[in-house]
Amino acid sequence: MDKRYMKRILFILLFTVFAFSSFNNVVFAKDSPPEIAAEDAVLIDGTTGEILYSKNPDEAFPPASTTKLMTALLTLENTKLEDKVIVGKNPPSAEGSSAGIRENEELTVKDLLYGLLFVSGNDCANALAEHVGGSNENFVVMMNKRAEVLGLKNTHFMNPNGLYDANHRSSAKDLALIMMELAKHPEYSQIATQNITYNIIPANNTAVIHPVSNEIQMVWKGGKYYYDGIEGGKTGYTIQSLFSYVISARRNGQRLIVAMHSSTKNYYPDSIKLLNYGFNNFELSKLYSKGDKVSDYRVDDNLTIPLLAADDFYYVKEKGSNIVPQIAINNKDLKNTSFITGDMLLDANVTLNDSQIGSLKLQSGSDHILKSVGASGSTTLKKASVSILKILAAIFIGLVSAVFVLRTIIIIRRRRIRKSRGGIREWNRFR
């Protein structure tokens, strides 16, 4: 047999033996990301916002009725479910999908949210916008300000319902971040996960009924696309906007959010693929709870201050991984600064696999009050202010006392003068 051929066989045998002998030490890689039909998509962890899968996540597109997630968010942030709403003239005439509400009907915010989330009612979106913002125009201003606060980079709203407008846009990542904020409100999930027919009945005309049913198939128990742990979702479609979809699901304390935009109506299978990929391969871990000791800060040779986590800190890791994030504290000189327990002192950068995954604010676990009168800091300033107030108070009291004494002296002298004049008159009378 050819020697070169023998060498190849020997190499293959040696490699096989080595592979099997090392089998117990193999760290299995996570599953490959799924193939999906959507052109733009993102999967994020709903607690940390970390991106677990992305495909053109920042590509701007017309979001259609997924716009209503922002409408729902502002509604829940600014109203109560029991608040009364009198439907104005304009909402019933809204184009597109409708819950059938009528002018002058007295409804609750809860009624309108059912119509908004169940049948994507543009009439309900406009009624909520007028109730919360006073007008559609003012509400749109609120939408864009909220988008700015959330850090949305590719979003601009022109209306509260999602009807097509060339300047009305968002992205998969931005829509996922809106859902991340909305999912913090339990009222949203309580409504969005119900597979029922809800009857909108005006309080001022109970003979009228507007029935609405949940159109999101992933909440239909027993249905083809039902997903265990679903928290709610929103579809969107117009001819110009094409298909968009956002969904939130929670399992074992971990929330995952999918957002996508597609030219085909394949968002349910795509969403299930991405959610399964996320739950099967990643897990949410807590590094610190609020109040946990993170480290110590040495003020001087005689004093060390415990540094406490100001908030809970979570991170996402691959399932089965034992990697723990690293903490790097941004130290600064606090010797000449007064602080008390609970004051924010320092920041810490948190890194995982050499990549920064967040920052953690650190609070003081004890007091450090400067005794020196000349020391800088708020405590010294407060002491100086108190001293000045005491001096001013003493001066005021002194002035009041002086005025009182002077007034008393004047009164006594006047009385003496009167008595003196009276005596002279009496002497002249008896002369």
Q: Position 133: which residue type?
A: G
Residue type, 408: T
Does the annotation mark 65 as catalytic? yes
Residue 238's CB: how many other CB atoms inside 10 A? 16
* HSE toward the beta carbon, residue 133, CA cutoff 13 A: 23
Set 65, 241, 248, 262: catalytic member: 65
Pick the catalytic residue from 98, 120, 171, 244: 120
Query: Helix/strand/coil (H, E, C) string of 225-287?
Result: CCCCCEEEEEEEEECCCEEEEEEEEEECCEEEEEEEEECCCCHHHHHHHHHHHHHHHEEEEEE
First to last CA, the chain: 169
Q: Are strands 326-330 and 210-213 parallel, antiparallel or unpaired?
A: unpaired
Answer whether 36's CB lies under 8 Å from 55's CB: yes
Cα 36 to Cα 210: distance, rounded to the nearest angstrom: 37
Q: Do residues 257 and 43 lie in contact, with contact meaning Cβ atoms separated by under 8 Å?
A: yes
Residue in the block written with tokens 């733009």: 40
DSSP character string of 98-147:
-----TT-EEEHHHHHHHHHHS--HHHHHHHHHHHHSSHHHHHHHHHHHH
Query: How far, CA to CA in Å, does 230 sit from each of 118, 218, 255, 314, 386?
Result: 15, 7, 10, 22, 58
Annotation says 120 is catalytic: yes
* Residue 286: active-site member: no
Residue positions annotated with a catalytic role: 65, 68, 120
